[in-house]
């Protein structure tokens, strides 16, 4: 095999996708309740998305950030307003890990400090400082471990206060709903307390919205469930509906200087078109409100299955927890029921991260399939 073999693969080869459906060559039709790790926001091959990207590719797909790009300017104006983050400034990149790298770098520039605080079961990426702030030693190489990161229990304000009191922390980085870690959410008191402590100690609060952002939770960003004001907001995944795009929103109190941040591919014409189209469809189809309605239906359906011990998450960033390892169950769902779902660091959890266009009937199909496979275990 010529590929560097780092991905354990399911024996499925998608060749086409439409809305919430993925097809292989057979063709077998799969219900996509995972969205390729929460990437597919407005549905696979949305007609407006295909049309806009195709047209843009015929005009210009890429040029460097050394020249003006009106599409970047349009996105920089539209995104903060639609996200209800007025005054925030946009810097674009190409992935979630890159977004978090730039957020951490900005926090260090702003504060003149280098230590980072993250939380147990966090996931912020697989590169440099982002992976150092990820609570998984197996994917942290020695070169990454040079970063100074302290992990604290999620929800422990006293522990955070003691660390921040030392005055050497540049950033506290938080997923307001943990993704890979297992959909854990703390309390409003905790998140608002984190923001208050950061403001009191001159520490930057980074809201990692890479997975939760762009309407997945029913709010544009998950942190908006609380009274907090992050200095930096990182985003990717649903931002491009499958096109590689990421970015950070930067608080208006932070002033830009030439050369502070930079990227070759970030903010290219195709990436901007993808993100602008996602924003347009989110608004036109009212997908954030739709996500909450489907979420309510999902949660109601869980009451029909006694084996489910907990329902975690919010909006269409959901998890169902059992009292056993769900790996075998997920395989049965893929191969026998033709439904994609996700795993987590919590082995007893199945993650549900569908396109925001998913309907109640698709949720019903999942629960019927789940009942069958649970009875077959």
- 363-373 pLDDT tens trace: 999 999 999 99
pLDDT, tens digit (0-9, with 9 covering 90-100), for 314-352: 999 999 999 999 999 999 999 999 999 999 999 999 999
Please state, rounded to an integer, the average pLDDT across all residues of the chain: 97
Q: How far apart are CA 354 and CA 339, in angstroms?
A: 11
With H, G, I as helix, E, B as strand and everything else as coil, classify residue 229: coil
Residue pair 129/145 in contact (Cβ under 8 Å)? The answer is no
Q: How far is it, in rounded angstroms, from Cα 29 to Cα 236?
A: 27
**Main-chain phi, psi angles of 204, to 5 degrees:** -80, 135
What is the pLDDT at residue 105? 98
* Beta strand 21-23 pairing with 16-18: antiparallel
- What is the structure's pLDDT at 1? 65
**CB burial class (10 A; 0-12, 13-18, 19+) of residue 306?**
exposed
Using CA atoms, how far residue 175 sits from 51, 139, 181, in Å, is: 34, 19, 10
pLDDT mean over 12-41: 97
Q: Tell me which H or E stretch contains 53.
A: helix 47-59
- Per-residue pLDDT tens over the stretch 28-68: 999 999 999 999 999 999 999 999 999 999 999 999 999 99
3-state secondary structure of 92: strand
In this prediction, residue 36 carries a pLDDT of 95
Q: Is the pLDDT of residue 291 over 80?
A: yes
CA 69 to chain centre: 26
Neighbours of 16 (CB within 10 A): 13
Q: Tell me the two tokens of residue 105.
A: 């770098």
pLDDT at 371: 98
Q: What is the pLDDT of residues 181-208, one digit of tens each?
A: 999 999 999 999 999 999 999 999 999 9
- At 120, list the tokens: 């147990």
Contact 239, 275 (CB under 8 A): yes
**Are 242 and 32 within 8 A, CB to CB?**
no
Nearest 10 degrees: Cα torsion 329, 332, 333, 336? -160
Domains of the chain with CATH codes: 16-46+289-376 (3.90.1150.10), 47-284 (3.40.640.10)
pLDDT at 264: 97
pLDDT band at residue 377 under the 50/70/90 scheme: confident
Strands 339-340 and 21-23: unpaired
pLDDT interval class at 85 (50, 70, 90): very high
């Amino acid at each position: 095999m010529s590929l560097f073999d780092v991905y354990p693969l399911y024996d499925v080869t998608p060749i086409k996708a439409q809305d919430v459906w993925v097809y292989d060559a057979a063709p077998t039709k799969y219900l996509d309740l995972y969205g390729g790790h929460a990437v597919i926001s407005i549905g696979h091959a949305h007609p407006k998305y295909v049309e806009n990207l195709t047209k843009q590719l015929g005009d210009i797909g890429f040029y460097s950030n050394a020249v003006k790009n009106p599409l970047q300017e349009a996105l920089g104006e539209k995104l903060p307003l639609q996200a209800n983050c007025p005054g925030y400034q946009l810097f674009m990149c190409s992935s979630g890990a890159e977004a978090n790298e730039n957020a951490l770098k900005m926090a260090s520039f702003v504060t003149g400090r280098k230590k980072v605080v993250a939380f147990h079961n966090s996931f912020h990426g697989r590169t440099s400082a982002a992976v150092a702030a990820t609570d998984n030693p197996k994917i942290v190489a020695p070169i990454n471990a040079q970063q100074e990161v302290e992990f604290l229990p999620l929800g422990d304000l006293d522990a955070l206060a003691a660390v921040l009191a030392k005055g050497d922390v540049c950033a506290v980085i938080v997923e307001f709903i943990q993704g890979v870690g297992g959909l854990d959410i703390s309390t409003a008191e905790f998140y608002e307390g984190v923001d208050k402590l950061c403001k009191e100690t001159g520490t930057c609060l980074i809201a990692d919205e890479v997975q939760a952002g762009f309407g997945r939770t029913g709010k544009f960003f998950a942190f908006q469930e609380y009274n907090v004001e992050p200095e930096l907001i990182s985003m990717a995944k649903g931002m491009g509906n499958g096109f590689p795009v990421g970015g950070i929103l930067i608080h208006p109190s932070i002033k830009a200087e030439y050369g502070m941040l930079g990227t070759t591919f970030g903010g290219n014409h195709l990436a901007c078109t993808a993100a602008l189209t996602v924003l347009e469809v989110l608004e036109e189809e009212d997908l954030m409100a739709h996500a909450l309605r489907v979420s309510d239906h999902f949660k109601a359906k869980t009451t029909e299955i006694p084996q489910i011990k907990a329902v975690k998450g919010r909006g269409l960033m959901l998890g169902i927890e059992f009292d056993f390892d769900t790996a075998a169950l997920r395989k049965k769902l893929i191969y026998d029921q033709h439904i994609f779902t996700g795993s987590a660091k919590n082995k007893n959890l199945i993650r549900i991260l569908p396109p925001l266009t998913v309907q109640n009937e698709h949720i019903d199909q999942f629960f019927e399939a789940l009942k069958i496979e649970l009875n077959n275990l």
